[in-house]
Amino acid sequence: MHETTPATHAAQTQGPIVDIEPWGLRETGLDLGRIAVSESLFALSNGHLGLRGNFDEGEPRAQSGTYLSGFFESYPLSYGERGFGFAEDGQSVVNVTDGKLIRLLVEDEPFDVHRGWLEQHDRFLDFRTGVLERNVVWRSQAGRAVRVTTKRLVSFTQRSVAAILYEVEALEQPSRVALQSNLLANQPQDSESADPRKAAALGQVLESELSTGHDLRVVLGHRTRRSGLALAAGMDHVVDRTHCDPKELTQVDDDLGRVTISTLLEPGKPLRMVKFLAYHWSGRQSMDWLRDQVDASLENAIGAGFDGLVKSQRRYLDRYWRVADFQLDGDPELQQAVRFAKFQLLQASARAETRAVGAKGLTGSGYDGHAFWDTESFMLPPLTYAKPDLVRDQLMWRSRTLPLARERAQQLGLRGAAFPWRTIHGEECSGYWPAGLAAFHVNASIAHAVVRYVAATGDDGFARSHGLEILVETARLWESLGHHGPDGTFRIDGVTGPDEYTALVDNNVYTNLMAQLNLDAAADAAERDNDVAHALGVTDDEIARWRVAASTMFVPFDERLGIHPQDQDFLTHERWDFDGTPPEHYPLLLNYPYLQLYRKQVVKQPDLVMALFVRGDAFTAEEKERNFAYYEGVTVRDSSLSACVQAIVAAEVGHVDLAYDYLAEGAFTDLHDLKGDGAEGLHIASLGGVLGAVMFGFGGFRDHGGELRFRPRIPAALTRIQFPIVHCGQRIRVVIEPGKVTYALTALEDGGDEAALRPVTIHHEDEAIELVAGEPVERPLAELHPTFVPTQPAGRAPHRRALRPLS
């Protein structure tokens, strides 16, 4: 007899979810207890269209998800007591019309992993092709066995298109099968939850306006009830009739389109069907227009065919990996995790174009699909030095929302522009003042991203046409938000820094230093492009005021401890009782009132330590060491954005193996579901931070003032680290090995004309080096002797990285 596993008793194991593979994720077997996380891990996206990794048959599922970048529903925010300036409306990503569904009937039994027996069930997401493949052998309760093979992709080259190849083969005996390919709108969402990270439950928000069917094609049109956005979704099918003569039926309803294909299968003669999907939406175009776009996209997809889409996908990803790949030798699982981060960052942004990239990308509905400061602070830095065109797209999105940011600043009684703490469309939709609306540092993060992008690309056209305006309006915000104190220093009061466990404080060091950078950058840009600045109403007097505010910026410092307080009063607070906090009470925000958190020295995620990284030019080496050691003792890492920043600064101050542990924690946040919220989507910003931990942490790469500086390190567990820096259309390859580092200037594409490359000046430690193509430069790694030994709060140290054996 055959070995079988009853589907109703599929294994539920502990430990890692996927096998170790250098270029993909492989899930072997079916673990019903981890479906929710697997749906996030195996999600496909191109930045415009996202499909969660649901099974083709649609059930069992934790959260069915099909998302479109920028497509949202609004809803009124409720307050027990309203206050002037509170955000009026929330925004939430919509689970749009689901085209992933393909159900299978074998004789009179539906293919269902809960019924019958699974003899094989595995999935593989290939980072090189962007294709998710699933292989299943299932035996019905009546004893009929079939093999199901599916391949799914979301196209990078055809922005609105996805495709699924579905093949079913009868094993052992002839069987009649029926495929039901569905296009389904208004699927039920999860209910409300007390976890603030989950999305709002909005119910059925799509109202039908169009439903048409012809041959094997169905197009459905819907409009959101409150935001008024129009959506058209379509499916079409190509059936291989080589081995069968199928019967076909197309049915159309307001919220459902269904194509049924029935045939008798002989063993060894499979039924093969390709399902093509297309999605278009708009806030301005008519439904007829969107329907026509869907039809055109389907025709283009059918013309390319599934194999053609795969080939173009492979070409796109080949170019990406040739330029952008990170290599870490000595830890195969970490190598896989870093490539996963690279792949997911691309999936989140590749075709987002001028729409926001949310904190979860398009992998789930967590945080309602909102974009935060995460985009500019964690996602864009690694993209700037790998795919700078995607960074330009995101900054263009910010530029296009400037009118809304100006309106928001006026509402708050401020000048300039106040970009939202969380949004989809551009309006502020955070309903919580202390930890959200007061986090003005998002504005400086956007300005910093502009400065970094222009320095890394030399894109003067963007700098003049869009960048300068962003810098000017954010500088105006800081000037109006701050004030000069009696001692002449410029002070910024009543704000929340990156640490959301400390709110509404005066002179947060990170905020003040980032505002200082913003003010100086705006002054520099206005003087450089004086004509554009004058057209924006900038005067010489205004530039002078920015210079004075920046030069007199108040940065608190505690002489007794020799460290910087996170804000001017932070060190006067009582320390949190870490020893008395049970492990199950983390994260603290789910177990303690903010009133208690705000009154204590306890840090959710790096704040002052974040400043040590992004404004490292404002601290001495000794200050960095002392600050890092102190804040390690009060940081609990209740945020997924924590470990990557701690890794970066730990590496800089000499705690290289600690940095390795933090890198591993960040890298496995999603792959091991360390935060327990993987069902809501991937932590895209954390994945960006993982890449930052490699290049900024172990690479020691800094770009202060447009200079390229490196202070490389390597942990004992790794034998080699290699990563590229794309700068002004050229590539610097950095290779770190025990005891040495090698820098090489190369063409952007392998085999490119290196004779045309311009020399580049970099700094290794404090030595200036001119890199010339074809002449790699080798230097020794600096010897590190850190003075201070950091310790973490009880139970909050990162797990020591133990290598997992290969499967």
Give the whole-angstrom CA distance, residue 303 versus residue 290. Answer: 20
List phi, psi (to 5°) of 441: -60, -15
Q: With contact defined as beta carbons under 8 Å apart, do 208 and 253 qualify? A: no
Other CB atoms within 10 Å distance of the CB of residue 587: 18
Catalogue the E-assigned strands of 456-567. 483-484, 490-491
The residues facing 723 across adjacent strands are: 734
CB contact at 8 A, 482 and 420: no
Residue 317 CA to residue 340 CA, distance in Å, equals 13
- Residue found under tokens 């002989």: 266
Question: Would you say 43 and 51 are in contact if contact means Cβ atoms under 8 Å apart?
Answer: yes
Which residue in 253, 244, 4 sits closest to 115, CA to CA?
Answer: 4
Answer for the pair 155, 314: CB distance below 8 angstroms, yes or no. no
Query: Which residue out of 27, 333, 427, 500 is catalytically annotated?
Result: 500
Q: Which one-letter amino acid corresponds to residue 89?
A: D
Q: CA 222, CA 188: separation in Å to the nearest integer?
A: 16
Smallest CA-to-CA distance from 762 within 710, 700, 698 is with 710
> CA torsion, points 133, 134, 137, 139, in degrees to nearest 10?
-150
Going by C-alpha positions, the residue among 284, 316, 370 that lies closest to residue 67 is 370
Q: How far apart are CA 116 and CA 776, in angstroms?
A: 61
DSSP 730-768: EEEEEEEETTEEEEEEE-SSTT--GGGPPPEEEEETTEE
687: alpha, beta or left, given left = phi > 0 and alpha = psi -120 to 50?
alpha
What six digits make up the tokens of 311? 């080939």
Q: Describe the strand order of the beta sheet including 709-710 as a list of residue ranges.
A: 709-710, 760-764, 767-771
Return phi, psi of residue 378, to 5°: -125, -35
CA distance 712 to 290: 51
The total of other beta-carbon atoms located within 10 Å of residue 151's CB is: 20
Please indicate whether residue 500 is annotated as part of the active site.
yes
CA distances from 744 to 125, 153, 738 (A): 33, 36, 18
> What is the number of H-type helices and E-type strands within the chain?
19, 32
| Contact criterion met (CB below 8 Å) for 264 and 174 | yes
Give the Å distances, CA to CA, from 566 to 41, 401, 473, 613.
Answer: 36, 31, 26, 14
Specify burial of residue 579 (Cβ count, 10 A radius: 0-12, 13-18, 19+): exposed
Burial class (CB in 10 A: 0-12, 13-18, 19+), 513: buried
Closest CA to 667 of 317, 361, 323, 343: 343
Return the active site residues. 500
